[in-house]
Amino acid sequence: MKDLSKKLFVISGSSGVGKGTVIKSLISKHSDIKLSISCTTRMPRPKEINGVNYFFTTREEFEKSVSNDEFLEWAEFSGNCYGTKKSFVINTLKNSHVLLEIDTQGALQIKNKMPGAILIFIAPPSYEELVSRLRGRHTESEDAINKRLNFVNIEKENSKLFDYIIVNDTVENAVEQIEKIING
């Protein structure tokens, strides 16, 4: 019998807000929370492992999964497809809470298919801080940063439909707030 106490948590937020750092800290402290692994059609980056970082697949296989309604959510971004398999989430929920890190549009797709999902939006302390964090990473061109910043208003608008909004002023504070939600 399925343990009904296990929940699906979806974390979204603008690029550069610190979602990955918050999630890494949260998961390191809680063995009963598993990070969902998305499918993608993009090529693996150095050191990425199939089945650990992503499930890497061909576009043809991905499109077949879309046709068979196998995804809770999916999207195409920068010429590559990304999606969350229903079967992976449902099977993982049998033993653990599941945490997904996806964009706000995908989060709303999931809420539509799994109304019990708890949506958490991670917000920056300010827009200026977000810009500073993105530029401070030194991982992308100015053009790529500007493209990411163009999505901020869409994400902010979508976040109004989320269950919780947490300001990531410090990683410790953000993790503590998410822990309260999980234990709530």
Distance (Å, whole) CA 135 – CA 183: 35
Q: Which residue has the higher pLDDT, 162 or 4?
A: 162
Query: Which distant-in-sequence residues (6+ apart) come within 8 Å of 40 by Cβ?
Result: 54, 55, 56, 57, 80, 81, 82, 83
Q: Give the pLDDT confidence of 48-98 residue by residue, as tens digits.
A: 999 999 999 999 999 999 999 999 999 998 899 999 999 999 999 999 999
Under 8 Å between Cβ of 57 and 16: no
Q: Compute how many other C-beta atoms are within 10 angstroms of the C-beta atom of residue 34.
A: 18
What dihedral angle (degrees, nearest 10) is formed by the CA atoms of 126, 130, 133, 137?
Answer: 180
- pLDDT at 2 (0 to 100): 41
- Using pLDDT thresholds of 50, 70 and 90, give the confidence band for residue 4: low
Measured between alpha carbons, how far is 9 from 84 in angstroms, rounded to an integer?
13
Q: How many CB atoms lie within 10 A of CB 155?
A: 19
Q: What is the mean pLDDT of residues 96-103?
A: 94
| pLDDT score recorded for residue 71 | 97
- pTM for the predicted model, two decimal places: 0.87
DSSP 59-71: HHHHHHHHHTT-E
Q: CA 130 to CA 17: how far, in whole Å?
A: 6
Which amino acid is located at 31 in the chain?
S
Mean pLDDT of 126-132: 86
- The residue-averaged pLDDT of 118-145 equals 87
